Structure 1
Amino acid sequence: MSAIYSVKEIYIYPIKSLAGISLESAKAEEMGFENDRRWMLIDAENQMLTQREHRIMSQFYPQISNGKISITFQDQKQEFSISEHLENVIEVNVWDDKSEVVEVNLETSKWFSQHLGFQCKLVKILKNGARKHESSRLKETFNVSLADGYPYLMIGSKSLDFLNDKLDEKITIKRFRPNIVVSTENPHEEDDFKTFAIGEVQFKNIKPCGRCVMVNNDPENGRLKKEPLKTLSKYRNVDNSVLFGTNIVSLNSGIIRVGDEVIF
């Protein structure tokens, strides 16, 4: 590929299904970017909570500073240390994968319970290997965080441009919750990337990402809309899966930065 491809945006989502954080640089690890989806909310039956059922989760905004994560919801704020957790291990499922997690602290769980209106806990995955995900396509097993399936989601800029050309109401890339947004020349060409390097890190493409109704949740206000899934399903439906963006894994640890070239 002769074109210059480069990183336009980097995002992490410290707590699964809450709002993301835009970064200028990030440390890639096997499980995903550092502090990306290492935490999630579970209900009283230890089932994971996501925006699919609780759209209000998109209105909780995290920030990371000085070893602490602060969460803002409306005019309320809660803070906890990145390193803190209780000792009791809880076994949860992230889709079909079993994962071992621990509760962060009782105060933070109570805060989320009050604002969501039902009992829940904030939990953390502690170590690499606490959750394994098997790729049915590659017959490989990956150590992953609490993300839906794979450590990283990458989207090309032209894929969003192409979609927006078809929509009456334009949307931002935040609808799709990517980790890496790269400048591209053609829509969806990221689906065909094989292995490539960004900054210090080698990445491997696994498969295009099948999307669910969650992309219809407007992150600006938490309201469910008909788009973009309705339009995407007309031209990106493959084997009953609506594709947008691609799942990738890192082959080593290192730093990537906005502006880094994608090297094939």
Structure 2
Amino acid sequence: MVFPVKSCAPIRRTCARLNEYGFEFDRMWMVATQKAPADGSGPAQWVLCSQREQPAMALIDQALAMPGDRGDQWTDDEIAAGPGPYCAGGRLTLSLRTPNPPPPLVVPFRTVAELSPLESTTIAVHKYSVAGVDEGDAAAAWLSSFLGIPVRLFVKHPTQPRELSTKHVPSHSWFSYPPQTAFADGFPLLLLSQESVDDVRSKLAARGDPTNVTTLNFRPNIVVSGCERPFQEDEWLQLRIGDAEFIGASRCIRCMMPSNNPETGESGVEPTKLLMSYRRVDRGRKYQSCFGINMVHRRTGVVVRVADPIVPTQVGVHDGRGIWQLGTEPIVYA
């Protein structure tokens, strides 16, 4: 799955190509709002607006159209082999899954040459500062009207890199590109297993809880199946999927977002409460629940496809304090 605008509904894909940020188009755009510092020490700053504060963002559907006279009729294979997200003529379309929705919002792609000289805006994505380019007043008005607060849409600035935490990534010599990401929380890719999701579902059912939890609650890029047991992915430090190689950077720390209903855009309690009861498994994150693993790809230009074979090539124990820390072998904490 890819999520072109962070926190909006996913686009399901049968294949996707890896670029320097992760899967092409994934978290390339972000909605942001302005907030004053809590201590009143300075002017308002642009900060991430996500389903954490606006669960109704789950009702914003997304579509991608590549250049050419066929409009949206491009196949996943053609998109994966295409010229990339900043190609002339392509577009992102947002629409609302609500009664009496407004006309869809169409956001044309712009080339690197068009975006590079434009003024950038620094946006706070949790503890990171990321450079984006404003997508204009029409996009801001469409999103602000739906969310009920003033927001603007930004696309990732193409020439100002967003580096990854050095605690969770080996040295750059392991990669064919400078490892980075766009507007993702911290890493280019998130992987989890169907067996882990099924484990959560079965535990909720055993409690008599009617909450319908699916993979969509956890917003992964890659869902694998065929694991011998739930949460086997916790052990993966390196793996191959088809022709692509990945580093397991860390376990994914979960907030309240998995308890948002992806079909209704309403917030809830589960599965967050359940995860806190049995998924506080990371010694470096004792007071936080974990679900899935964050990953970094070693090469760009590789296409990952549904049904590609998955081969873990190194297993071990993740630790929230960081197991790589620019080393050539993962650190093992006593």
Structures share fold, TM-score greater than 0.5: yes
- SS of the residue aligned with 1:71? strand
Q: 1:129 to 1:262 in 2, by over 3 A?
A: farther
- CA offsets, 1:1-54, max 9 Å, x none? xxxxxxxxxx00000111111000001123110000010011134111011111
- CA offsets, 1:160-192, max 9 Å, x none? 111111113231100000000001221101111
Pairing 1:260–2:325 present: no
Give the alignment's Cα RMSD to 1 decimal.
Answer: 1.8
Distance in 2 (alpha carbons) for counterparts of 1:138 and 1:144: 12
- SS of the residue aligned with 1:21? coil
Please show how residues 33-72 of structure 1 align to structure 2 within 5 Å.
Answer: 33-44=23-34, 45-66=45-66, 67-72=90-95
Higher normalized contact order (CA 8 Å, seq sep 6+, divided by chain length): 1
What is the identity, as a one-letter code, of the residue corresponding to 1:38?
M
Distance in 2 (alpha carbons) for counterparts of 1:156 and 1:181: 5
Distance in 2 (alpha carbons) for counterparts of 1:51 and 1:140: 33
Please show how residues 143-158 of structure 1 align to structure 2 within 5 Å.
Answer: 143-158=180-195
Distance in 2 (alpha carbons) for counterparts of 1:127 and 1:46: 19
Pairing 1:185–2:243 present: no
Please show how residues 116-195 of structure 1 align to structure 2 within 5 Å.
Answer: 116-127=147-158, 129-137=160-168, 142-167=179-204, 168-169=209-210, 170-183=212-225, 184-195=227-238
What's the % identity of the aligned pairs? 30
**1:139 Cα deviation from its structure 2 partner:** 7.5
**1:82 Cα deviation from its structure 2 partner:** 2.4
Could you tell me the TM-score, scaled by structure 1's length?
0.90
Distance in 1 (alpha carbons) for counterparts of 2:55 and 2:265: 5
- SS of the residue aligned with 1:63? strand
Distance in 2 (alpha carbons) for counterparts of 1:125 and 1:49: 15
Q: 1:32 to 1:57 in 2, by over 3 A?
A: same
Structure with higher Rg: it is: 2
- SS of the residue aligned with 2:258? helix
**1:105 Cα deviation from its structure 2 partner:** 2.2
Distance in 2 (alpha carbons) for counterparts of 1:21 and 1:138: 28
Would you tell me which structure has more strand in proportion to its own residues? 1
What is the identity, as a one-letter code, of the residue corresponding to 1:166?
K
2:121 to 69, 75, 90: 90
Partner of 2:3: 13
Distance in 1 (alpha carbons) for counterparts of 2:153 and 2:169: 32
| Consecutive unaligned residues in structure 2, runs of 5 or more | 35-44, 67-89, 173-178, 313-334
Count how many residue pairs are aligned between Structure 1 and Structure 2: 254
**1:241 Cα deviation from its structure 2 partner:** 1.3
What is the identity, as a one-letter code, of the residue corresponding to 1:94?
V
Q: 1:92 to 1:72 in 2, by over 3 A?
A: same
Q: 1:173 to 1:221 in 2, by over 3 A?
A: same
